[in-house]
Amino acid sequence: MEERKKRIFSGIQPSGELTLGSYMGAIRNWVQLQHEYDCLFCIVDEHAITVRQEPAQLRKRSVAQLAQYIACGLDPEKNIMFIQSHVPQHAELAWILGCYTQFGELSRMTQFKAKSQQHADNITAGLFTYPVLMAADILLYQADLVPVGADQKQHVELTRDIAVRFNGVYSDTFVLPEPFIPKLGARIMSLDDPSSKMSKSVPDGCINLMDQPEVIMKKFKRAVTDCETAVKFDQANKPGISNLLTIYCAATGKTMDEAEAEFAGQGYGVFKPAVGEAVVELFRPIREEADRIMKDKAYLEGVYKTGAQRAQYLANKTLSKVQRKIGFVAR
Ligand code: TYM
């Protein structure tokens, strides 16, 4: 294989607003890693349709998400930024990889179990095979590293298993990817219920990147805590406060010790709005920049079209290798 910089692939579904969770678990790290790696950052609209979407909303959100990626500090000159459905090789490779994935493996995916409960009236084959499409996303680009939140670790591990299996049958074809899970912010919890993950599909207790400051402050002031008063990190006994401390440290760059010392002897009435302020200040420049970029439709179109072309070039290399190895006749 030719000498190349290590490669990153990651993506977010445009099935809702970008959230504080997706920012802390994924985007924040992408911004750091873009300087060291060749990166592809995708808007995974094909994943989004595994549950029903309103078409006009999906179209609007996909482009808005690109504007927000750029506003977060991802450089479209440096990185390949594109919309998944513009690169048909994802779906093609997903079909092939599906034939190297076991029904039992997919049945064990915790996200499938959770989502099929959430959408009990619409458990589609797409929802079930979704991890195969994710494996195709990653393997198509021979990604070395996949920066994601903790909830996606199982899917990256399955991707590795599929790659190992395929390589075992047909000789080395795919690079084996590693998940990159941040130490801080890998699993941001809901402000309403610190026992469940903050999720765009459950708007209560969820902070969105584009929320106005007063909305953010209101949500933090209402955040569920406990009946004590000490601002201390204690995951088992104080999950609400621990989550807020994590958010505070990730937003300000302070250590946990520094944060605890800062609020020692002060009650939650001081602490909760301080976390809100930190997030407001973190998101303010991003929101303003995203609003500005959103007005320039021609620029955004240029970015996603160029991104798709560059992605297709790389994707085709892997796909044709795979097709040849499994015995498809050359076109
Ligand atoms: P998605 O769209 O649900 O979430 C996007 C990214 O944000 C992370 N994340 C969180 N991190 C910490 N705390 C939270 N509360 C939180 N909520 C979300 C997720 O872990 C993820 O990194 N299947 C993926 C999208 C995808 C993908 C890929 C990712 C499709 N193909 C290939 C990497 C590589 C998903 O549904 O993420």
- CA distances 131 to 23, 135, 168, 173, 199, Å, are 22, 6, 20, 19, 18
Q: What would the mean pLDDT of 238-243 be, rounded to a whole number?
A: 98
Provide the pLDDT for residue 2.
54
Mean pLDDT is lowest, of 23-27, 196-200, 297-301, 305-309, for 196-200
Q: Is the pTM of this model over 0.75?
A: yes
Contact, 161 vs 105, CB < 8 A?
Answer: yes
Provide the pLDDT for residue 39.
98
Measured over the CA atoms of residue 84, residue 49, residue 130 and residue 327, the dihedral's sign is: negative
Rounded to the nearest angstrom, the distance between the alpha carbon of 22 and the centre of ligand 1 is 6
Contact, 176 vs 139, CB < 8 A?
Answer: no
Taking only the tens place, the pLDDT of each residue in 39-93 is: 999 999 999 999 999 999 999 999 999 999 999 999 999 999 999 999 999 999 9
Q: Which among 15, 106, 148 is the best mutation to test ligand 1's pocket, defined by most ligand atoms within 8 Å of the CB?
A: 148
CA-to-CA distance for 146 and 31, rounded, in angstroms?
13
287 lines ligand 1 (CB under 6 A): no
Which residues form the catalytic set? 115, 197, 200
Percent of the chain with pLDDT over 90: 96
Rounded to the nearest angstrom, the distance between the alpha carbon of 27 and the centre of ligand 1 is 10
Would the pLDDT of 1 be above 80? no
- CA distances 94 to 45, 97, 136, 139, 179, Å, are 15, 5, 5, 10, 19
Residues sharing a CB contact under 8 Å with residue 173, sequence separation 6 or more, in sequence order: 163, 166, 167, 318, 321, 322, 325
CA-to-CA distance for 71 and 63, rounded, in angstroms?
13
Q: What would the mean pLDDT of 254-279 be, rounded to a whole number?
A: 97
Q: What would the mean pLDDT of 1-19 be, rounded to a whole number?
A: 89
Do β-strands 145-147 and 178-180 pair in parallel, antiparallel, or remain unpaired?
A: parallel
